[in-house]
Amino acid sequence: MSNWDKKSDQELIKDYLNGEKLSLEILIAKYLDDAYRFAFDLTREQETAEDIVQESFVKFWKSLSKFDPKKEVKPWLLTIIKNTAIDFFRKKSLIPFSSFEKSETDYNLLEQIKDKKPLPSEEILKKEFRQEIRDLISKLSQKDQEILNLRYQKTMTFKEISSFLKSPINTIKSRHRRSLIFLKKLIEEDDAPNIY
């Protein structure tokens, strides 16, 4: 084990700020895999995840002089990645639809807002329905989109979302419930027969 491997993250940052460039390379290499996995979990797109990770590490590098050595590096880095991903989706005015597909917890947003029905041309209709859901979700506020993203794509509990977003758990639950009701209402209105 080299001396570099024995150093803490805080020591590596201090060394970098004192002119030792190699320490930054070691720090980035240490968290690169975790950063990519987290970004991919948020986006479900390899190229987008790579772009977000690259941009996040640039922000990470530029902010090193402001880092509080009493804090841990990994949560700080993941927060930068989360905020970079949110900015990306805000600019694109969308949220990844894969966030709302079946999860290991068997808690599916689509099942919450629309009953299953037999579909004659299943693949085509699935694509149309997915686009419909994307369009409907885009009508929610960015905050509500983020809550749904964390709940269904990251499969976070309400307590974890509350901690992650630094918002009261009752507020998170209320926004979540209101979003589902809103989406269900929009879908029901869209399914209503056209009488005009």
Residue 195 has pLDDT above 60, yes or no: no
| Whether 148 contacts 99, CB under 8 Å | yes
Q: Which CATH number fits domain 3-92: 2.30.42.10, 3.30.70.20, 3.20.20.70, 1.10.1740.10?
A: 1.10.1740.10
pLDDT in tens, 52-73: 999 999 999 999 999 888 888 9
pLDDT in tens, 99-121: 444 443 434 444 444 444 443 44
**Would you say the C-alpha torsion 63, 64, 67, 71 has a positive or negative sign?**
positive
In the chain, ranges of CATH 1.10.1740.10 domains: 3-92
User: What's the CA gap between 169 and 167, in Å, rounded?
Assistant: 6
In the chain, ranges of CATH 1.10.10.10 domains: 97-191
> What is the fold of 97-191?
Arc Repressor Mutant, subunit A (1.10.10)
| Average pLDDT score over the chain | 75
How many degrees, rounded to 5, is the angle at CA 44 between CA 149 and CA 173? Answer: 10
Supply the DSSP symbol for 112.
H
End-to-end CA distance of the chain: give it in Å, rounded: 76
Half-sphere exposure of 61 (CA within 13 A, CB side): 13
pLDDT in tens, 74-100: 889 988 988 888 888 777 654 554 444
Residue 160 has pLDDT above 90, yes or no: no
